[in-house]
Amino acid sequence: MRRLSLICLLAPLLLLTELVTSAPSGPPQDNHRRSSKSLRLKTRRVNKPALRRRQDDSGDEFLATTGWDPKEFQYEISVGFGTPLQDILLVIDTGSSDTWAFPPDLCSITPGCFWSFDPDQSSTYELVSKDAFTIEYEEGTTVASGDFFTDTLSFESGVQVDDVQLGLATAITGNLSWGVMGLGFDTGESKPLYPNLIDMLVKSGTIDTPLFSLWSSLIGPDSGGFILFGDVDETAYKGDITWRPMVADEDGTYKDYLITLTGWGTTASPSKQLTTVSVNVDLLLDSGTTNIVLPPDMYNSLVGYLPFTVANRNVDCTVPPGSVDFYFGDDLKISIPFQSLVLPTPGAATGCAWGMEPAKDGDWLILGDTFLQNAYVAYDLANYRYGIAPTNYG
Cα 329 to chain centroid, rounded: 24
- Among 147, 151, 170, 168, CA closest to 160: 151
Task: Say if CB 115 and CB 87 are below 8 A apart.
Answer: yes
User: DSSP assignment of 296-360, as one string?
Assistant: HHHHHHHHHTSSS--BTTEE-SS--SEEEEEESSTT-EEEEEGGGGEE--TT-TT-EEESEEEPP
CA–CA distance, 59 with 131 (Å, rounded to integer): 32
Contacts of 192 (CB under 8 A, 6+ apart): none
Q: How many CB atoms lie within 10 A of CB 316?
A: 13
Cα 61 to chain centroid, rounded: 30
- Catalytic residue chosen out of the listed positions 69, 93, 98, 231: 93
Amino acid at 123: S
Give whole-number Cα distances, 357 to 98, 293, 309, in Å.
27, 5, 14
Q: Is 120 a catalytic residue?
A: no
Upstream peptide bond of 192 is cis (omega within 30 degrees of 0): yes
CA–CA distance, 187 with 381 (Å, rounded to integer): 11
The secondary structure of residue 94, as a DSSP letter, is T
- Catalytic residue chosen out of the listed positions 186, 286, 369, 380: 286
- Among 118, 117, 124, 214, CA closest to 160: 124
Amino acid at 86: Q
CA–CA distance, 1 with 12 (Å, rounded to integer): 9
Q: Read off φ and ψ for residue 378, nearest 5 degrees.
A: -110, 140
Q: Is 363 a catalytic residue?
A: no
Catalytic residues: 93, 286
